Every structure is written in structure tokens, then in C-alpha cells.
Amino acid sequence: MAVATAQDFDADLRRAIDVAARHPIFASGLATHPGWTATGYDAQDRYGVWRVDFASAAGAPIGWAQVQLEAERVLAREAEFGLEGEAYAVAEAALLDFLRGDPEFVAFAGDVDEREGAWVGYQAWSDTWVIHLQRGTDSLVVVLSSERAWARSLENLRIVQIHVPAAVAVDDWRSRQSSDAIALVFADPVVAAAVRGRDGWATEVEALDRAVWRVRFVVDGAVVAEADVDVSERVVVGRR
């Protein structure tokens, strides 16, 4: 029976690193990290898996891969190649230019340059670009992909999805609307006077339509004040 040597191990490790580094997501990402390093080990399992870890020149983790060495196949991988310096500037310019030139997006979102700021990034797990257009409560998150899969390409882009962060989950929306309605009604002088000095009061909130909510202040089961408030306009529209 042949005995594996340290030299054999080193050769297999180099091969595992090479297989991982040639995967498109690592090939493109490592090109932006000169001086990167890699280490790994043989898991010695039934699957013949090697684990390879990549790090930047400064030693920060930037990705890992599990390699089936016999088939030279990457079974699993994760990469986080941040955008820095010139690479960030190039990506930001390309993504903004694309959005400016997309008539459908402009028809939906308006002037791309109508914003407080922007942030861009590359999501290695999904091979997509993301750009945050910061507009306060009207902010947008746009996810794009390239026809050149896994090449971190900024060419031949298409919009995958447009996310409106302010459109939160239904339960979160109801909670926010209810809290806003209670705060707006409690600030009303008439309601405040009816509730002031009463201990143990509670509130009941009911949605009347898209923007108007009814707030009741209850003490010992009895309603002591009630008002309707337009949360969108932030104004009390009726009292009882």
C-alpha cells in the first residue's frame, strides 16, 4: 500500500486551490485582490472533499470553497469580494449610467440623480449587483445581473428586481401605523385633556381605510376619548 507523503499533500493542496481559484466567481473576484493567499486541508471524508479558504493580502477572509478533488469540482462556495477604491467608482458609474438609460426604470422611479446619495455592491452568492438610491422614505434598492454569468461583469445588464424598503411586512406596517396614529391623536389637545390624570389607560386602534385610523383611549373598559387620524397627512380628522 502506498503511503502519502508531505509532498503529495502539498501537490494536492495546490491542486485544490487551483480548482477553487478557477471557478468563475473566484477568478473574477481574486483578480481585484492582488496578493491574495489561500490555505486548505483534506477533510478525509467519504466524499473526497478539500476545504480551501481565501484571504486578502491583509489577511481578511474573502471566501471559501469545498472542492471534490478527484472530479476537480467545486461543490460549495461563498465569496465576499468588497468593492473598494477605483473598483467601487467604476461600478457606481456603470450602474447609475445603466439606470439613467433604462426608459422603463426612469418612468417608474423618475430622475436617477434625484437622490441624497447612492451605495453599490456586488452580491457574490447570487451573482448580482445592487444599488441603493437613498431618497429618505422614497429610497429604492435595485438588483441587476449581467448576461456574462459569474464574471462580475458590468456589461449587458438587466434589472432583476426593484425593492422599496419602506413597503415593509404587513405586521410591521400595521405596528408602525398604529404607533403613529396613537402618537398623533395623543398630541391633540382635546384628547390629551380627556386622558390626562387617568391611570391605567389603554388604547384600541382600528384601520378605517388606507390612511385613516380610529384610536380609542380606554380606562376600566370605558372609552374616555376617541379620534380619527389621517396618518398620511398627519392630522386628526374627527373626535368623539
pLDDT (average), residues 226-238: 95
Task: With a cut of 70, say whether residue 4 has pLDDT above it.
Answer: no
Q: What is the pLDDT of residues 104-125, one digit of tens each?
A: 999 999 999 999 999 999 998 8
Cell digits of residue 8: 503529495
pLDDT reported for residue 1: 36
pLDDT reported for residue 144: 98
pLDDT reported for residue 49: 96
| CB-side neighbour CA atoms (13 Å) of 20 | 30
pLDDT reported for residue 26: 92
What residues form DSSP beta bridges with 79?
A: 63
Q: What is the pLDDT of residues 82-91, one digit of tens each?
A: 887 788 999 9
pLDDT reported for residue 33: 87
- Domains in the chain: boundaries: 6-79, 85-163, 170-239
CB 107 within 8 A of CB 92: no
Task: With a cut of 70, say whether residue 171 has pLDDT above it.
Answer: yes
Cell digits of residue 186: 395623543
Long-range contact pairs involving 177-183 (C-beta distance under 8 Å, separation at least 24): 177/207, 177/213, 177/231, 178/205, 178/213, 180/231, 180/234, 181/205, 181/213, 181/215, 181/229, 181/231, 182/215
Cell digits of residue 200: 391605567
DSSP 117-186: EEEEEEETTTTEEEEEEE-GGG-EEEEEEESSTTTT--SSEEEEEEE-TTS--HHHHHHHHHHHHHHHHH
Walk across the sheet containing 61-68 and list its strands.
37-42, 49-55, 61-68, 73-79
pLDDT reported for residue 7: 67
| Global confidence as pTM | 0.74
Q: What is the pLDDT of residues 13-71, one digit of tens each?
A: 999 999 999 998 899 889 888 899 999 999 999 999 999 999 999 999 999 999 999 99
Q: What is the pLDDT of residues 174-221, one digit of tens each?
A: 999 999 999 999 999 999 999 988 999 999 999 999 999 999 999 999
Task: With a cut of 70, say whether residue 232 has pLDDT above it.
Answer: yes
DSSP 72-113: TEEEEEEE-----HHHHHHHHHHHHHHHHT-HHHHHHH--TT
Cell digits of residue 156: 449587458
Task: With a cut of 50, say whether residue 2 has pLDDT above it.
Answer: no
pLDDT reported for residue 25: 87
CB 131 within 8 A of CB 99: yes
CA distances from 210 to 177, 229, 239 (A): 10, 11, 19
Cell digits of residue 128: 448580482
